């Protein structure tokens, strides 16, 4: 078990009420996240609504995050896409604007690929990559699980340094830990599994709710590192889990943005279609959960 754990935030993309990207709001949000003790920032991931952004917006979001972070914490840019050439272009642009690493999801259209097919995709994307890369398993949005066999083979690739697993399956997570080298970073992205994953040997988490309750994540990590599992369970169950349950039911980007707007950390809870902004009874319920 690690003496300390890495907590990174998959940053939402703040938007104005008309749906345009709010880069000034993003700068303010980055300052807040860094001041709250976040160890790294991940723009243009799932919670960042990367699939609803244009290429120009994606580059601007990553560049703004890098500039606002000002080398205080590393930036891992989401570069998800379905075509090898498209993803390679996003990797190059992330490197050009100063990102420290990239997060690469399997292709999310075309059906279930074999382990060999997914491995071939990642190798084609990441051969000669200018930046270190993290794989990203999120079957509920991609439509397929990134097979452990493929991850185990890719763990020896010169550019691949770790994985974010948002599948929520602890057996799968344990297989990742068992079948990859000790220096291969395994991060938990399913917030409800944060505590058990740290106890299993995770390197840390990349967690959307670190926007909302960063102190609870720090408390869990500190308690696990110190062997105080009762304290860790208390913070997981009483703070992280209720918010996670709400977000799971209502969507992470809409819920997190609504929470940030409620706390005046962004100007608007607006999301882009096909997501729907939180309002009415759902918003009232979120406020109750937060309070």
Catalytic residue list: 136, 164
**Structural tokens at position 126:** 């990441």
In 3-state terms the chain splits into helix, strand, coil percentages (rounded to 5) of 50, 10, 40
269 three-state secondary structure: coil
Would you tell me how many other CB atoms lie within 10 Å of the CB of residue 96? 12
Would you tell me how many other CB atoms lie within 10 Å of the CB of residue 155? 19
Does 47 carry a binding-site annotation?
Answer: yes
Q: Name 188's bridge partners.
A: 165, 205
Question: Phi then psi for 137, rounded to 5 degrees?
Answer: -100, 115
Does 138 carry a binding-site annotation?
Answer: no
The answer for residues whose C-beta is within 8 angstroms of residue 283's C-beta and 6 or more apart is: 258, 262
Alpha helices, H only, 168-279: 170-179, 194-200, 214-225, 229-235, 241-250, 252-262
CA distances from 18 to 22, 167, 250, 257, 287 (A): 10, 33, 21, 15, 24
The answer for residues whose C-beta is within 8 angstroms of residue 204's C-beta and 6 or more apart is: 5, 6, 7, 8, 39, 185, 187, 188, 198, 221
**Would you call the peptide bond into 274 cis, given omega within 30 degrees of 0 as the criterion?**
yes
Q: Which residues are annotated as a binding site?
A: 47, 206
């Amino acid at each position: 078990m690690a003496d300390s754990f890495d907590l990174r935030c998959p940053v939402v993309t703040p938007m104005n009420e008309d749906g345009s990207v709010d880069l000034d709001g993003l700068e303010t949000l980055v300052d807040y996240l860094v001041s709250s003790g976040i160890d790294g920032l991940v723009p243009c991931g799932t919670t960042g609504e990367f699939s609803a952004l244009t290429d120009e917006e994606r580059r601007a979001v990553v560049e703004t995050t890098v500039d606002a972070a000002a080398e205080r914490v590393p930036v891992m840019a989401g570069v998800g896409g379905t075509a090898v050439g498209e993803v390679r272009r996003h990797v190059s642009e992330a490197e050009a604007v100063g990102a420290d690493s990239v997060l690469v999801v399997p292709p999310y259209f075309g059906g279930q690929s074999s382990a060999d097919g997914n491995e071939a995709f990642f190798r084609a994307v990441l051969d000669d990559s200018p930046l270190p890369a993290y794989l990203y398993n999120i079957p509920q949005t991609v439509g397929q699980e990134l097979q452990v066999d493929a991850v185990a083979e890719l763990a020896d690739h010169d550019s691949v340094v770790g994985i974010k697993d948002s599948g929520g399956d602890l057996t799968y997570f344990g297989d990742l830990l068992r079948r990859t080298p000790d220096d291969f970073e395994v991060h938990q992205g399913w917030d409800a599994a944060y505590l058990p994953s740290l106890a299993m040997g995770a390197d840390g988490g990349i967690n959307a709710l670190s926007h909302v309750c960063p102190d609870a994540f720090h408390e869990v990590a500190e308690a696990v590192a110190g062997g105080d599992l009762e304290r860790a369970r208390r913070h997981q169950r009483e703070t992280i889990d209720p918010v996670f349950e709400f977000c799971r039911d209502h969507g992470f980007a809409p819920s997190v943005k609504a929470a940030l707007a409620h706390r005046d950390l962004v100007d608007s809870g607006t999301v882009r279609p096909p997501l729907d902004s939180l309002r009415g009874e759902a918003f009232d319920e979120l406020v109750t959960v937060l309070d």
